[in-house]
Amino acid sequence: MRAKQTVGSDVSGEMANRDIKHHNHSHIKTGHITGSHNIIGHQGAIHLQMAASPVIKVVIQPGAQHISEAHKFELRELVNEIIRLEATIKKSPKRHAAVWSALTAKLKVTSYHLIPADAFERAKAYLQTWCARLRASKNAPTKDPDWRNSRYSFIHAAAAEIGRNEDIPKLLAERYSGRSLKDLSSLELENVYRIIASWKKQARQNGA
């Protein structure tokens, strides 16, 4: 006599007239492969377990060969001035991170703390040029409330640096009927600024 349920083939003897239940058994196998990895098999799925490699971070500490704290303060002040001008003049102003990133990229360092001491003047000049470029924009005189004062400061400081303070009144007399800097229009003041800047550049080229 045949069984009521067959699995794969006919069943006879003691199993006849009995229901047959088939049980699946899960098997988990764990093996090892070369390296720090484990493979676990579970019902046909294979999971590869890999140990995370340690992350090594190299930190370079600033030393005597890098800019001083006083120099860092001076650079931070210039960056803050750039940010102020950017926010005042530009429609899409740069933020602190962008300015610092531009400076460190220019000097090929990963942090301004690691600027070499002998590169401080280059860093300072780079930021000062950025400020000057912003103040030279057409809408700077009307948008920047400190624009005129910044021009006065530069004119007097640059002339003093190259020993030409006495030439400023002569320049004003020749070109602007002897009017003072404060009496000049924004355009006239900008022209005087550019003349003094050219004097300073020429003096540097001559080694003054």
pLDDT higher than 70, residue 111: yes
pLDDT higher than 90, residue 68: yes
Whole-model pTM? 0.63
Cβ neighbours, 10 Å, residue 190:
18
Q: Which residues contact 201 (CB under 8 A, 6 or more apart)?
A: none
pLDDT higher than 90, residue 48: no
pLDDT higher than 80, residue 26: no
Identity of residue 158: A
Report the alpha-carbon distance of residue 38 to residue 49 in Å, rounded: 5
Average pLDDT over residues 42-53: 61
Residue 188 exposure: Cα atoms within 13 Å on the Cβ side: 15
- Confidence class of residue 64 from pLDDT cuts 50, 70 and 90? confident
Average pLDDT over residues 146-154: 95
Q: Which residues contact 56 (CB under 8 A, 6 or more apart)?
A: none
Report which of residues 93 and 32 the model is more confident about.
93
Residue with tokens 């020749």: 174
Residue 90 exposure: Cα atoms within 13 Å on the Cβ side: 15
Task: Look at residue 175 in the predicted model and tell me its pLDDT.
Answer: 95
Report the alpha-carbon distance of residue 42 to residue 29 in Å, rounded: 7
- Confidence class of residue 45 from pLDDT cuts 50, 70 and 90? low
Residue 73 exposure: Cα atoms within 13 Å on the Cβ side: 3
Residue 130 burial class via C-beta count within 10 angstroms: exposed 0-12, middle 13-18, buried 19 and up: buried
| Average pLDDT score over the chain | 82
- Give the lowest-confidence range in 54-68, 78-92, 152-166: 54-68
pLDDT higher than 90, residue 152: yes
Q: Are 127 and 82 in contact (CB under 8 A)?
A: yes
Q: CA-CA distances (angstroms) from residue 157 to 39, 84, 85?
A: 74, 22, 21
